Amino acid sequence: MKKNYKTISIMFFLLMSFLMLSAGESKQETLKFERIKELEVSNITGRINITGWDKDFVEVTYTKKAQYEDDLEDIDVDIDQRGDALHIVTDLPWRCKKCEVDYDIFVPEKFNLIEAKTVTGSVDVQKIHFVDEITTHSTTGSINAEISARIIEANVVTGSIKLYIQDIPKDGEITAEAVTGGIKIYAPADLSADVDASAVTGGVDIDYEFNKVRVKKRSKIRGTIGNGDVMCNLSTVTGSIYLGTK
């Protein structure tokens, strides 16, 4: 009986040790920045969430995560305000196990520029009523955005792209590129655009009426919707493309 009890105790200890290691360590900090019109975020491993709000300042919350507490101190988050531009850069030590940084950033609903890039992780942008230019990139991860903007660019290597475009001016540009992953663009019903959409392996579905069609194949469509005001370039190697209304 004592032997069984000892065995159970050892197994329980090992299990708790495993769970503690799996949970890892974390450290969070929130910072406030005023008079910001441009935001650039560069991450390595971890998600980036950017949300518009009705306040006139930027709030940045970053959460460092690592398997061991000592590794948290080696994770560097460099935040630099230069005039009305805020630059955020993540540096992870090469020896750090399971290290990552998650960002939750709130910005004014009207903004000049947003650039968000991560290597491994998702990029999510919500409730941005207008930004002049937004660029998002993920090497391995998805991009989701609900925005109104003049220039919209989304790029992934392995992952999906989903954009909900509330409004885009006549001189606007939409660019979405993926290597392995699908692209879905939901745009206003009155979209006026010159469209170039191609998928090497996969189909292209454009849910708009074209005034002029230059190329129409299962995997490639080129044509003009309305007056062709907005330049819309969509491409993926492995995956499908959809452009339509909600």
Residues 99 and 40 placed together within one structural domain of the fold: yes
Domain count, the chain: 2
Has residue 188 got a pLDDT over 80?
yes
Task: Lowest mean pLDDT of 20-34, 126-140, 211-225, name the range.
Answer: 20-34
pLDDT mean across residues, the chain: 91
**Which of 110, 141, 172 is the C-terminal boundary of a domain?**
141
pLDDT in tens, 125-135: 999 989 999 99
Q: Are residues 85 and 128 in the same domain?
A: yes
Q: Do 134 and 212 lie in a common domain?
A: no
Better-scored residue on pLDDT, 106 or 3: 106
pLDDT at 18 over 50: no
CA-based max dimension of the chain: 84
In a domain, 11, yes or no: no
Percent of the chain with pLDDT over 90: 82
Do 132 and 176 lie in one domain? The reply is no
- Statement to judge: residues 134 and 202 lie in one domain: no
Does residue 16 belong to any structural domain of this protein?
no
**Tell me: the pLDDT tens digits for 25-73?**
899 999 999 999 999 999 999 999 999 999 999 999 999 999 888 889 8
| Average confidence (pLDDT) over 18-24 | 48
Residue 56 placed within a domain: yes
Domain that holds residue 136: 24-141
Q: 46 CB contacts (<8 Å, ≥6 apart)?
A: 65, 90, 100, 101, 102, 103, 118, 120, 121
